[in-house]
């Protein structure tokens, strides 16, 4: 069983200065699953997501304790190689943020800064990544135009391709479709279903129906605590806790 | 965020279901009265009322689908609307079976009495009681009461078998002139038993509504 768990948080606490943002988070995330994280604004769901690749360490007042094991290694230990960690744990943000470069260079960027110089290998990885992000067919004839020429949905898939290029194991997605129209959202959601055969995906979403559609497991956070973590089909038909029921049925507050 | 308008809509759906249950119960009472009293006029009321019940079933379905589409409900709300749709359909079937009984009543009332009715009134009482109890279990969201309804179904099957066996062996087989009346009473027993089945299906839906447990097809599945 243990080999199927790719991420495990143990008594994880997180503080912004004196403010405690996460309290005693314990969660085990299965390999090749999609986990949706839901909860009201300020509940700590993005903080938790960003803890999984130490993005929060960029905040000067951030402190944390407990453990977060990824493939059995505690990423909170002092001598962790953050660059290696972020290669393994890729991230896609709410707003697509391509670099002001060509489509090709956006995807190749991560490879180049990782010291890969072999052009053939780079070409191959760019193609694989764009195919993996279901964007290849739409851009293969214009790889050298600016990424900003793409639509919002295409830009978001480009960002996914960019994350895939460095061959991560885990993909963190922070509201990846919240700025997209329903068709582009559907493409991202379909892509998530395809990607989970290769990657473990954790997605923060404000859209309850999106969590219900894409995730295998759903975690409900509130006031910095993990209130309920359950299979998605149970979570959305018969949640264990009344507070979860109140939140997902909109009777919260 | 408390969406009060949605709560009002759910209340409205609940009230519509209770109204549907009232119509259905009225149909059974009248159909049974018409059999007991050989009253063609009452039987015709049951048949006439059915159109109104059919239309109301469609109204409830439309409203439920609209709520599913607009509100995309989850958890308890989702269970309420989906079981509500099921209960609505079961109530409509019970009303249809009441019409079938009323039709047999018209048929029987125009012919001499085959025999004094003994088991049919007992069976009718059971069917009325099962429907009433199952509706109570829905109103009170009471899974224990619903389980009681499920346990009553065996007696319904027993009564149907007893009545039908007696009709065939003691009347139809012995005297072919009793065939038409015998078959009508045979069918009344069949319709009453089906009414009890639909009461049981509603009880199973209530258990799912209350506890999210599936108990139909004699299975207990979490």
Beta bridge partners of A226: A221
pLDDT at B3: 65
- B113-167 pLDDT, tens digit per residue, is 998 999 999 999 999 999 999 999 999 999 999 999 999 999 999 999 999 999 9
**Which of A205, A232, A238 to mutate: most B Cβ within 10 Å?**
A238
**Would you list which residues of chain B are within 8 Å, Cβ to Cβ, of chain A?**
1-3, 6-7, 72-79, 212
Mean pLDDT, residues A26-51 taken together: 95
Rounded average pLDDT over A100-123: 93
pTM of the model: 0.82
Task: Please report the pLDDT score of residue A248 as a whole number.
Answer: 92
pLDDT-above-70 percentage for chain B = 96
- The per-residue pLDDT for A180 is 85
Identify from A235, A250, A253 which residue to disrupt to test chain B contact, counting B C-beta atoms within 10 A and taking the largest count: A250
Q: Could you identify the residue written with the tokens 């830009």?
A: A155
- B72 and A239 within 8 Å at the Cβ level: the answer is no
pLDDT band at A194 (very low <50, low <70, confident <90, very high): very high
Question: What ipTM was estimated for this complex?
Answer: 0.72
Instruction: Say yes or no for a CB contact (<8 Å) between A238 and B75.
Output: yes
pLDDT band at B53 (very low <50, low <70, confident <90, very high): very high
Q: Give B169-178 pLDDT, tens digit per residue.
A: 999 999 999 9
C-alpha span between A51 and A10 (Å, rounded):
13
Q: Measured between beta carbons, which residues in chain A are less than 8 angstroms from residue B75?
A: 236-239, 244-245, 248-249
Contact A30, A200 (CB under 8 A): yes
- pLDDT at residue A3, rounded to an integer: 52
Long-range contact pairs involving A110-116 (C-beta distance under 8 Å, separation at least 24) = A110/A162, A110/A163, A110/A165, A110/A166, A111/A165, A111/A166, A114/A87, A114/A166
- A249 to B74: CB separation less than 8 angstroms, yes or no: yes
**Strand, coil or helix: what is A109?**
helix
Residue A91 has pLDDT above 70, yes or no: yes
| pLDDT tens track for B62-107 | 999 999 998 999 999 999 999 999 999 999 999 999 999 999 999 9
Decide if pLDDT at B219 tops 70.
no
How far is the C-alpha of A165 from the C-alpha of A86, rounded, in Å?
12
Check if the beta carbon of residue B95 is closer than 8 Å to that of residue B203. Answer: no
pLDDT tier, B221 (very low <50, low <70, confident <90, very high otherwise): very low
Burial class (CB in 10 A: 0-12, 13-18, 19+), A3: exposed
Residues of A in contact with B72 (CB under 8 A): 208-209
pLDDT of residue B212: 85
pLDDT tens digits for range A150-182: 999 999 999 999 999 999 999 999 999 988 888
Indicate if the pLDDT at residue A60 is higher than 90: no
Confidence at residue B222, expressed as pLDDT on a 0 to 100 scale: 41
∠ CA B17-B129-B64, rounded to 5°: 15
Of A237, A250, A253, the CB nearest to B6: A250
Position A47 scores a pLDDT of 95
- Average pLDDT for A21-43: 96
Which of B80, B83, B61 is CA-nearest to residue B215?
B83
Find the CB nearest A253 among B2, B7, B74. Answer: B2
Q: Does the structure show a pLDDT above 90 at A242? A: yes
């Amino acid at each position: 069983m243990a080999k199927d768990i790719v991420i495990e948080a143990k008594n994880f606490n997180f503080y912004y200065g004196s403010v405690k943002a996460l309290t005693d988070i314990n969660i085990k995330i299965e390999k090749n699953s999609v986990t949706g994280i839901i909860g009201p604004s300020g509940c700590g769901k993005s903080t938790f997501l960003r803890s999984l690749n130490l993005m929060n360490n960029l905040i000067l007042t951030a402190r944390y304790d407990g453990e977060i094991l990824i493939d059995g290694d505690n990423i909170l230990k002092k001598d962790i190689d953050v660059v290696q960690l972020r290669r393994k744990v890729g991230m896609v943000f709410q707003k697509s943020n391509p670099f002001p470069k060509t489509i090709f260079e956006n995807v190749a960027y991560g490879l180049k800064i990782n010291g890969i110089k072999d052009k053939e290998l780079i070409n191959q990885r760019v193609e694989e990544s764009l195919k993996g992000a279901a964007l290849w067919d739409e851009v293969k004839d214009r790889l050298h135009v600016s990424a900003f020429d793409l639509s919002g949905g295409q830009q978001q898939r480009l960002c996914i391709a960019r994350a895939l290029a460095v061959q991560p194991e885990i993909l963190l997605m922070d509201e990846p479709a919240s700025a997209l129209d329903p068709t582009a959202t559907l493409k991202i959601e379909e892509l998530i279903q395809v990607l989970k055969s290769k990657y473990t995906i954790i997605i923060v979403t404000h859209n309850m129906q999106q969590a219900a559609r894409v995730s295998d497991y759903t975690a409900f956070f509130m006031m910095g605590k993990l209130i309920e973590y359950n299979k998605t089909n149970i979570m959305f038909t018969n949640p264990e806790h009344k507070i979860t029921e109140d939140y997902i049925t909109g009777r919260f507050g | 965020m408390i969406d009060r308008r949605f709560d009002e809509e759910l209340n409205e759906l609940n009230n519509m279901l209770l109204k549907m249950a009232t119509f259905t119960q009225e149909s059974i009472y009248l159909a049974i009265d018409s059999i007991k009293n050989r009253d063609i006029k009452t039987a015709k009321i049951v048949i006439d009322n059915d159109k109104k019940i059919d239309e109301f079933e469609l109204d409830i379905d439309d409203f439920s689908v609209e709520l599913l589409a607009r509100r995309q409900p989850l958890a308890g709300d989702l269970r309420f609307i989906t079981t509500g749709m099921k209960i609505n359909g079961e109530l409509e079937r019970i009303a249809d079976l009441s019409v079938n009984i009323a039709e047999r009543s018209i048929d029987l009332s125009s012919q001499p009495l085959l025999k004094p009715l003994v088991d049919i009134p007992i069976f009718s009482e059971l069917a009325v009681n099962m429907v009433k109890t199952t509706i109570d279990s829905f109103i009170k969201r009471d899974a224990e009461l619903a389980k009681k309804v499920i346990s009553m179904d065996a007696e319904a099957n027993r009564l149907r078998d007893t009545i039908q066996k007696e009709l065939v062996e003691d009347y139809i087989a012995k005297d072919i002139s009793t065939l038409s009346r015998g078959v009508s009473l045979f069918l009344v027993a069949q319709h009453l038993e089906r009414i009890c089945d639909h009461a049981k299906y509603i009880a199973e839906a209530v258990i799912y509504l209350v506890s999210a447990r599936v108990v139909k097809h004699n299975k207990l599945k979490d």
